[in-house]
Structure 1
Amino acid sequence: MSPTIGDVASLVRSKNAGPFWQTLDVFLPDDDAFRRVAEAPGLDEATVARAYRLDPATVRIFRLPDIRVVKISFPRPTPQGGVHDRDMHAGQQHVPLARLPLHP
Structure 2
Amino acid sequence: MSKVKLPQLATVIRSKNSGPYELTLDVIFKDQESYEAACKARVINKTTIAELYGIQEDDVIGIVEFSPANAIKATIVRPYPSGALGETDVYGAQQHAPLLDLEVELN
Q: Which runs of structure 2 are paired with 1:1-104 in the superposition (5 Å)?
A: 2-59=3-60, 60-103=62-105
Q: CA deviation at 1:87?
A: 0.9
How far apart, in 2, do the equivalents of 1:28 and 1:85 lie? 30
TM-score by length of 2: 0.89
How far apart, in 1, do the equivalents of 2:98 and 2:104 lie? 13
Contact preservation (8 Å) 1:19, 1:80: yes
Question: Identity, % of aligned pairs?
Answer: 29
Corresponding pairs, count: 103
TM-score by length of 1: 0.92
Letter in 2 for 1:64: F
Deviation per CA, 1:12-57: give whole Å up to 9, x if none: 0000000000001001121101111222243211011000011112
How far apart, in 2, do the equivalents of 1:19 and 1:49 lie? 19
Q: Which runs of 5+ in 2 are unaligned?
A: none
Q: Which has the higher strand share?
A: 2
How far apart, in 1, do the equivalents of 2:58 and 2:81 lie? 19
